Amino acid sequence: MGLGYETLKASNPRLIYASITGFGPSGPYAQRAGMTRGQAMSGLLSVLTDLSNPQPMGISLSDHLTGMMRPMAFWVR
């Protein structure tokens, strides 16, 4: 789409641009999707659904919280 960091930085030099993955950039689970797998591995899926027919949450709570909290990591350093 042409919306990389360099392109967007030209419009706003104070831009915070972050890449967030479910299991981090490296390691054994790095290439795996995080949403439903994260809910299952954390035990959240078993609390919210019937285990005979597990269904992920309607929204990805982890995606929303990560998006809200990620900018704070830059300020904490």
Give catalytic status of residue 50 as yes or no. Answer: no
The answer to whether 40 touches 54, Cβ cutoff 8 Å, is yes
Query: Which entry of 29, 37, 49, 63 is annotated as an active-site residue?
Result: 63
Active site residues: 63
